[in-house]
Structure 1
Amino acid sequence: MKTLYLDAFSGMSGDMFLGALIDLGIDLHAIETELKKLHVSGYTLTAERIAKSAIYGTNFDVVLDSGEKDHGFIEHREQEHHGHHHGRHLDDIVKLIENSDLSETVKKHAISIFQDIGRAESKVHNVPLNEVHFHEVGALDSIVDIVGSCIAMELLGVDNVKCSTITDGTGFIDVAHGRMPVPVPAVAQMLTERTIPVKQNTQVHTELLTPTGLGIVKEFVSEFSSLDQNDDIQKVGYGFGKRDTGLFNALRVFVLEKTDSHADVSATHDQVIQIETNIDDQTAEGLGYAMDQLLANGALDVFFTPIQMKKNRPGVKLTVLVKEQDQDQLIRLIFKATTAKGVRYIPYQRTIMQRSFKKVTYRNMIVRLKVASFNDIKRITPEYEDCKEIAEKFDLPLNTVYDEVKKLYQE
């Protein structure tokens, strides 16, 4: 299970997020190609790898052909009074995304983020949601930032997103309606809908957390926590912010792989808890999501069994194997991620193979191996993802990679 971890020590904005994902290796041209499916023009994407405080990262920007950058919400009647008609209502932006050729997943996430920001602006400015109106060219840079971020997330293909406590600044900034306190009103309103840990850095006298950045966090982040000792860091990327804060202004991101299952096991017997519940009113997609969440948070195994329930209704039995110390946490997650209203559980004694984890180098690439043994029985299993990457890179049969990697360990 791969996790994207957002280290938001200097807040977050849309361009910082996109810059960080590009710095991880997401192809800018692939993002540009997908964005063309929106059928809008008038902008150019730039992504320059530069150094700040001697740390290299990516400075991403949306350069508009004309007009100004997004200054946030502006009332429709105020635009008419000044003779400007270049903005877009929230409904216009939603229709633009819905009518595009983007994937359904990207559409869903992008619309959700815009609606989240729109609800906050509607509440702050006391206007109906359908009258929320954005500055200048329909907040073109915000459209590109938000849709581009959703495209980049789809290209990254992680299973889960976690985030640190988010740092914001203090003081005041100038927005479309004048001088406003930090956090800006839209951000403050967005924070009322979900518990998100935010702290203010009193050394920074400007905004660090933007509505776009917070919208992305609310849409994708499932957990707020520190890095875990069992998180194996695979990649690191930096996306730079535009504001001069006097400090290192960047979003740092990590691609993590959970290593709970990669811990050596010397015992041949242990005890686990088996948790079960019967479900007959949840979609297949919802069940798949629940399985991913349980495995990502420490479940040893998760599986479904088809069953017939009361009144001969078809259903599934969810079975989860967990360590004793994780029982309460994962029961809570079952209630959160499924429609279950109760669970049953029982302790089980297990006889298991001893396990250790090794690494070998094959064709100058690292391959992880699981070595399982019980008395005189030994089994060597190369990591599928590592072998798959090698097979694709060198155009080899997957079985050939498996066999050669096993020989390397035996030697």
Structure 2
Amino acid sequence: MKILYIDCGMGAAGDMLTAALLELLPDPDQFVRKLNALGLPGVEFKKEPSVKCGITGTHISVTVHGEEEESCDHNPDHGTLHAHEHGHDPHEAEHGHHHEHGHHHSGLHDIEHIVREHLPVSEKVKEDVMAVYRLIAEAESQAHGVPVTEIHFHEVGTMDAVADITAVCMLMEEIAPDQVVVSPIHVGSGQVKCAHGILPVPAPATAYILRGVPVYGGSIRGELCTPTGAALLRHFAAKFGDMPVMATQRIGYGMGKKDFEAANCVRVLLGEAADKRDTVAELTCNIDDMTAESIGFAMETLFAAGALEVYTVPVGMKKSRPGVLLCTMCREADKDEMVRLIFKHTTTIGIREQVSNRYTLKRSVETVGTPFGQIRKKVSAGYGTRREKYEYEDLARIARQRGMSIEEVAAQSKAGK
């Protein structure tokens, strides 16, 4: 099992996570060029070496039309959303960020339009980006005491937020860990000055996102974990705790901008665990009064929220009614969210839970040359077994372009004709 362990001994921010994950790639510069080719208006990623307490790592900056958003406290967190209530001074922002007059403000609907209609990334990355955004928007809504629909984001904050969040989601897709484990998170201590006044650390939005997650303060004064960093960790983590037993293969350091007594960085370790068993929760419920379309929508929603598997089984129910058994498999860390979504999107009044151990093959993605160009190939191996399968989206794209069937594309790619 490929495990990604994220060490948050100095908190986390969007740019620090981006920089750390970049160091795990064989060619980080090529990936930065890929990020700069996303087509986000005026956005530019810059990668540079950085040394903190004698440790060399990577620092990433994101500028929008040459302007880099600055934080008055920890490091500039380009992904932090600056939420405004209607009627507030539009030139004030959360967490101490100050901006020029005349910028445009966007709502969550505008951001979704940018992500879904204009980002040249996979559907998985789009779903991950929007899931992270929803976590932050909900937290900002709670902090302001207004509906999510009334939360607006500053123009500069919007672009670099999309950039940072998208970068991390793309990197997670590229690295493709089987499990993400995050350490207890150092959130900092004291207070942080912002445009609205003095706020406690962690900031209200960060504290809301990290409910139920092990966090701690300490002697370092300042905001170490930002809302964006917290939301990215919350979305991708399968669990929070100590580093698991694994054979480390690659290590990355993502550096913040400020200097402290301790190295201001996020450290990531990518390794293999000998034990390929993990634990999943199986949630089941019986339904006999929903249309097929509604059940299908519920399944899509659960998948989008991170379910490992969702399926239905036809069953006979009381009073001889035909119905379906809806089965959802998820990581234990996602269980509460899955329960909430099942109750929201189905008519069931009860959900059963069973915790199971599962054994999985080691999975990876390779890029191979074919007569049609580069195609991704999924490889699963372990227990003396190896399976290979071309990525469906790549086969489908070529089939559409050339008027061929998917089977023909796959056969010719394998044969090398």
Is 1:85 paired with 2:106? no
Q: TM-score, normalised by structure 1?
A: 0.64
Is the contact between residue 31 and residue 151 of structure 1 (CA under 8 Å) also seen in structure 2? no
Q: TM-score, normalised by structure 2?
A: 0.63
Query: Which digits, 9 at most, give the CA deviation of each residue in 1:371-409, with x for residues without a partner?
Result: xxxxxxxxxx87859xxxxxxxxxxxxxxxxxxxxxxxx
| 1:140-151 alignment, distance < 5 Å | 140-151=159-170
Cα distance in 1 for residues equivalent to 2:10 and 2:153: 26
Question: Which residue is equivalent to 2:153?
Answer: 134
Distance 1:226 1:34, change over 3 A: same
Amino acid of the residue matched to residue 23 of structure 1?
A: E
1:224 is matched with which residue: 237, 240, 248? Answer: 240
Cα distance in 1 for residues equivalent to 2:128 and 2:307: 19
| Runs of 5+ consecutive residues of structure 1 not aligned to the other structure | 263-274, 293-303, 321-329, 346-368, 371-380, 386-411
Distance 1:91 1:23, change over 3 A: same
Question: Which residue is equivalent to 1:259?
Answer: 274
Question: Which residue is equivalent to 2:134?
Answer: 115
- SS class of match (1:236): strand
- SS class of match (1:201): coil
| 1:39-188 alignment, distance < 5 Å | 39-69=39-69, 72-76=82-86, 77-79=88-90, 84-100=102-118, 101-188=120-207
Is the contact between residue 69 and residue 139 of structure 1 (CA under 8 Å) also seen in structure 2? no
Cα distance in 2 for residues equivalent to 1:284 and 1:90: 21
Distance 1:166 1:280, change over 3 A: same
Cα distance in 1 for residues equivalent to 2:269 and 2:126: 25
Question: Which residue is equivalent to 2:225?
Answer: 209
| 1:9-408 alignment, distance < 5 Å | 9-25=9-25, 27-33=28-34, 36-37=37-38, 39-69=39-69, 72-76=82-86, 77-79=88-90, 84-100=102-118, 101-191=120-210, 194-202=211-219, 204-229=220-245, 231-260=246-275, 341=352
CA RMSD of aligned residues (A): 4.1
What percentage of residue pairs aligned between the two structures are identical?
29
Q: 1:22 Cα shift?
A: 0.6
Q: 1:198 Cα shift?
A: 0.5
- SS class of match (2:181): strand
Distance 1:252 1:156, change over 3 A: same
Cα distance in 2 for residues equivalent to 1:80 and 1:98: 28
Is the contact between residue 280 and residue 313 of structure 1 (CA under 8 Å) also seen in structure 2? yes
Q: 1:276 Cα shift?
A: 11
- SS class of match (1:189): helix
- SS class of match (1:78): coil
- SS class of match (1:99): helix
Amino acid of the residue matched to residue 41 of structure 2?
A: S
| Paired residues, number | 316
- SS class of match (2:156): coil
Is the contact between residue 187 and residue 223 of structure 2 (CA under 8 Å) also seen in structure 1? yes
- SS class of match (2:90): helix
Cα distance in 1 for residues equivalent to 2:236 and 2:229: 11
Is the contact between residue 19 and residue 238 of structure 1 (CA under 8 Å) also seen in structure 2? yes
Q: 1:148 Cα shift?
A: 1.0
Cα distance in 2 for residues equivalent to 1:212 and 1:335: 21
Amino acid of the residue matched to residue 99 of structure 1?
A: E
Distance 1:239 1:138, change over 3 A: closer
Query: Which digits, 9 at most, give the CA deviation of each residue in 1:208-243, with x for residues without a partner?
Result: 0000100101111110121223x2222111111112
Distance 1:382 1:58, change over 3 A: farther
Distance 1:30 1:207, change over 3 A: same
Cα distance in 2 for residues equivalent to 1:344 and 1:7: 27
Is the contact between residue 16 and residue 60 of structure 2 (CA under 8 Å) also seen in structure 1? yes
Cα distance in 2 for residues equivalent to 1:131 and 1:48: 38
| Runs of 5+ consecutive residues of structure 2 not aligned to the other structure | 72-81, 93-99, 288-297, 343-350, 357-380, 388-417
Is the contact between residue 32 and residue 45 of structure 2 (CA under 8 Å) also seen in structure 1? no
Cα distance in 2 for residues equivalent to 1:134 and 1:276: 38
Is the contact between residue 88 and residue 138 of structure 1 (CA under 8 Å) also seen in structure 2? no
Q: 1:91 Cα shift?
A: 2.4
Query: Which digits, 9 at most, give the CA deviation of each residue in 1:262-310, with x for residues without a partner?
Result: 9xxxxxxxxxxxx9998887959979x8779xxxxxxxxxxx9x99766
